[in-house]
Structure 1
Amino acid sequence: MITKKRVLACILAIFLVFAACVVVDDVTVELNTYEYYDSDLPMLFYGYRIMCVSDFHNSFYPGQISKKINEEKPDVVLFLGDMTTLPKNNTDRFMELLDGIEIDVPIYGVLGNHEEFSERKDELIREFAGTKMKLLQNESVMLERDGASIKLVGVSDVDMEDDQAKDSWSLSQIREYLSKELDHSAFTILACHRSNLYPYLEDLDADLMLSGHMHGGVVRVPFFGGIFGQDGGLMPDYDAGLYQESNMALYVNRGCDFTLTKPRINNGPEIVQIILKK
């Protein structure tokens, strides 16, 4: 005989199993690998691997992430912003992550909105300058391999919230810089924290934009994608994965933050290894 107590016990058991799965998913960093194909890629860069880490937010996974990076031995490591979290912007666990990277590869990073809006922004920039990570603030570097090269361009974050970014002065400055920098003399990767800036940059002459910011939409529903945008809206347009709406493709990292107030559901923390192919 099915009693009310048994029904409640079953419901409680299901809830506890679900909660346990969410917790395990939220504290286990997943390494995802994506192969990006582009006919403009120099043949000597075939198989070149870019390890992307986004939205770390000084979270609890420095050891997991550095271990995966050391095991995979990518050609370059790229931090895509929000290494810290407002308002304190502590850097202790991010510094632990950097110190844990033992392989000798170039490491680059760009600022995210949590650094851009911080009262400690200048102090953070000075702290990062003393590490093995080279911060790119509207700057470019050439990545070399066996005599061939490709360009990596990193841009600063805009100084406005998402719903105001389109008309911000800082976005116009980023576009002005990129219009001069991107001449397609080399295969070019653009590192930009906010994936939702893609519609305002996709007409420019880069091949691949790498971003984060959306945290995968926080809660992911099969066949629908992410639910929550960082601007408070629902069903964000560029929450995770690959997008191709122009000659410039976009790959969005789901990030690897952890917070009890905004648990990730069906959306565990990830780092992404992009393998360039043609």
Structure 2
Amino acid sequence: MIYLLVGIIIAMSIILIVSIVNNHRIQITKYVIQKHELPKSFDDFRITLLTDIHNEAYCNTTKFYDQVKVTKPDVIFISGDMIDSRRTDINEAIQVARQLVKIAPTYYVNGNHEYRVSIYPEFEAKLKEIGVTVLRNQSVKFQRESESIELMGLDDPHFISKNNGYHAENVAVLQELEKLKTDDSYTILLIHRPEFFETFVEHKINLVLCGHTHGGQIRIPFVGGVIAPHQGFFPKYDAGLFVKENTVMIISKGLGRSSFPLRVNDSPEIVEILLKSN
């Protein structure tokens, strides 16, 4: 019995040490999305997705910026929670954004942590000053030759529904999508939270990019993430690629930590996406 207990303690210690080391070891996860709906002029269009930075100091380093550069983005998308409501430092977040816009045009939507802080309007204004495109229930067109694709950016549902629960948030997201999607362009949706996937499918969004889950924070091999905000234990949408009908959703595990200080078997990630046309 004593040997079993010692073995468990040793195993748990190894897991803890490896997790602490990997918490600052950012991986690059690559996806190739090949769809015939994508205009041919956007073949090989490259997107770098960054989520849930949460004021982590290791995201304001030369090493991090070099990793972003390696992905060779045509655009950089940030899907919320650049700041952390428990240890907010908008100046450090702005410094990160200032370096990113030097790499590629950068587009941002807010997250639930931005909703929680009273100084969010100041943060948003500073992002715009340094050249970040802030999308608040807005869309923009990317043009190549005579073809275009559409990027829609939605506020975190807390902003839209005043934090009135899942049903009210889903209705609010539905209404905003109805306002924005006006034609049959190839459409990318940038939003913080993934749990409205069925609504995204209903609106025939081609590609959804989001975060929020931190990959489930603790990942069990062959099982997935243990817990995610707004989904609870063993979330359906934890990380990675989800496909239904003509909609693809990519959930980044994100870069930072929030209420729980440790990511276990859950390295932070930069997501690199290559769009391919058939």
2:206 corresponds to which letter in structure 1? D
Greater CA deviation, 92-101 or 231-240? 92-101
> In structure 2, what is the equivalent of residue 262 of structure 1?
261
Aligned AA (2:132): M
In the TM superposition, what is the alpha-carbon distance from 1:34 to its structure 2 partner? 0.5
> Which of 87-96 and 25-34 deviates more?
87-96
Aligned Cα root-mean-square deviation (Å)? 2.5
Structure 2 counterpart of 1:211, one-letter code: C
Please, which moves more after superposition, 159-168 or 38-47? Answer: 159-168
The letter of the residue matching 1:39 is H
Aligned positions of 1:153-192 closer than 5 A: 153-159=152-158, 164-168=165-169, 171-192=170-191
The 3 A distance-change label for structure 1 pair 176 and 11 is closer
Q: Which has the larger radius of gyration?
A: 1
**Separation in 2 of the partners of 1:221 and 1:8?**
21
Pair 1:40-2:37 in alignment: yes
SS of equivalent residue, structure 1 residue 24:
helix
Task: Tell whether 2:239 aligns with 1:245.
Answer: no
Deviation, 1:7, is: 7.9
Contact preservation (8 Å) 2:101, 2:131: no
Contact 1:211 1:253 in 2 (8 A): yes
Distance 1:129 1:185 in 2: 29
The percent of aligned pairs where both chains have the same amino acid is 28
SS of 1:61's equivalent in the other structure is: helix
2:22 is the counterpart of 1:25: yes
Which residue matches 1:130? 129
Q: Deviations along 1:208-235, whole A, 9 cap, x unmatched? A: 1111111101111111111102137201
Residue identity matched to 1:72:
T
Shift of the alpha carbon at 1:118? 2.0
8 Å CA contact 1:89, 1:120 repeated in 2: no
Q: Which moved more, 1:114-123 or 1:155-164?
A: 155-164
- Superimposed CA distance per residue, residues 235-263 of structure 1 (whole angstroms, 9 cap, x where no aligned partner): 11111111112322211111111358431
Per-residue CA distance 1:61-113 (angstroms, 9 max, x = gap):
22243221223221000000011111453223322322333745210000001
Q: Provide the rounded CA distance (Å) in 2 between the counterparts of 1:182 and 1:94.
A: 31
1:166 and 1:129 map into 2 onto residues whose CA distance is: 32
Structure 2 residue 48 is matched with structure 1 residue 51: yes
Q: TM-score, normalised by structure 2?
A: 0.88
List per-residue Cα deviations over 1:14-45 (Å, max 9, x = no partner).
44432221111111111111011211001111
Aligned residues: 273
Q: How does 1:138-157 map to 2 (within 5 A)?
A: 138-157=137-156
Q: Distance in 1 between matches of 2:203 and 2:254?
A: 25
Q: Which range moved further: 221-230 or 60-69?
A: 60-69
SS in 2 for 1:94: helix
Query: 2 CA distance for matches of 1:88 and 1:150?
Result: 37
Q: Indicate how the Cα distance of structure 1 residues 142 and 67 shifts in structure 2: closer, same or farther if over 3 A, else same.
A: same
- The 5 A counterparts of 1:99-118 are 99-101=98-100, 103-118=102-117
Contact 1:217 1:228 in 2 (8 A): yes
Distance in 2 of aligned mates of 1:161 and 1:59: 27
